[in-house]
Amino acid sequence: MKEFYFTLSMSYSQCLAYYKGRISAVQVIDDAGRKIRFPANKLLPYMSQIGIRGRFRLLLDANNKFIRLDRVH
């Protein structure tokens, strides 16, 4: 299993493009400077009226398949 930690800050208007399906993937840079791309729909549980703000942990399996996205403190 692979773990990636990153901070994300998106406004509500930025989130709308993901929510409406116009954008299918999100690319972030993790704490180690690696670019990570994952399905945008995985962020839906974390969207609010202010957008998305927080620190996250992305878990992938050995084949780089999505396992889970968690908000961390």
What is the DSSP track for 2-26? EEEEEEEEE-HHHHHHHHTTS--EE
Q: What pLDDT, on the 0 to 100 scale, is given for residue 13?
A: 85
Q: Where are the domains of the chain?
A: 2-72
Residue 17 confidence (pLDDT) above 90 = no
Asked if 52 and 43 count as a contact pair (C-beta separation under 8 A), the reply is yes
Q: What is the CATH number of domain 2-72?
A: 2.40.50
Task: Give the tens place of pLDDT for each residue, 20-63.
Answer: 778 888 999 999 999 999 998 898 899 888 999 999 999 999 99
Write out the two tokens for 13. Answer: 């208007």
